Amino acid sequence: MLNRIANQLHELGYRRMQAKSLKPKHVEALVSLWKDQGLSVGTLKNYMAALRRWARKIGKPDIVPKDNAAFDIGNRSQVATESKAWELKEAHLARVSDEYVALSLRLQAAFGLRREEAIKFRPNYAIKDDHIKLKDTWTKGGRARTVPILNDEQRQLLEEVRKFAKGGALIPAEKNYIEQQIRYDRQIRTAGIKNPHGLRHRCAQKRYEEETGWKAPVAGGPASKSLTKAQRARDEGARETIAEELGHSREHISATYLGR
């Protein structure tokens, strides 16, 4: 995480920093960047904890405020009350000049992948007959998983990725993962994409509607408490399926994407 922060500072224009160069202006620039990227409250808090550790190690603990409220970082809610989903359109992709990044974004939109999973995606390993297989070294928490292939559009995209990657990941041969991640972040900022994680939200809500026959509560569908007993069983089954496909071990995390 600290390596990623250092790379982000470099991309923000702070090119000659050493470990002890950290100042309040750097913290403010990073928080602004993370908010522009649409990071969740939980992720923001993790980054702030890393910055505080850095500040303590160099003997400057007061550089980073102890209270996240100083940066208007609120409490994390496990239940969404408004949808964060958005659809990836051709207008967005037209502003992305790196084909590797464009394909990573399309994988995120089609399968609900996280950024790291979509960048490290290796089609020769991942693509199976009726599902994709995500390696533990690609995923958050090192939890390998599978995601079903459900339609021809997904199959066509996977074939495009297979042909383009030529046996590798969605990372140019001359770059490593961190360098491509920085390239990805720069490209989506240029394209005006502030919340790529919203593609994951849209995928979850789409899957919920496919599994239940009605929209998720956060997308205008009925609240869970208003469902019949039979509908509630379908609701619970859909939430468990979606949580697994997104790489979460707990069903209740689905409420972050679907609401209640």
Q: Domain-by-domain residue ranges, the chain?
A: 2-71, 96-191, 201-258
**Half-sphere exposure in the Cβ direction for 54 (13 Å, CA):** 24
Global pTM value? 0.74
Residue 113, helix vs strand vs coil: coil
Structure tokens at 35: 């908010």
pLDDT digits (tens, 9 = 90+) for 190-216: 898 888 889 999 999 999 999 999 999
Integer CA distances (angstroms), 25 to 28, 30, 113, in order:
5, 9, 33
| Tens-place pLDDT, residues 129-187 | 999 999 999 998 788 999 999 999 999 999 999 999 998 999 999 999 989 999 999 99
**In CATH, what number does 96-191 get?**
3.90.15
Give me the chain's average pLDDT, please.
91
Q: 248 pLDDT band (50/70/90 cuts)?
A: confident
Which residue has better confidence, 105 or 35?
A: 105
233-240: average pLDDT: 95
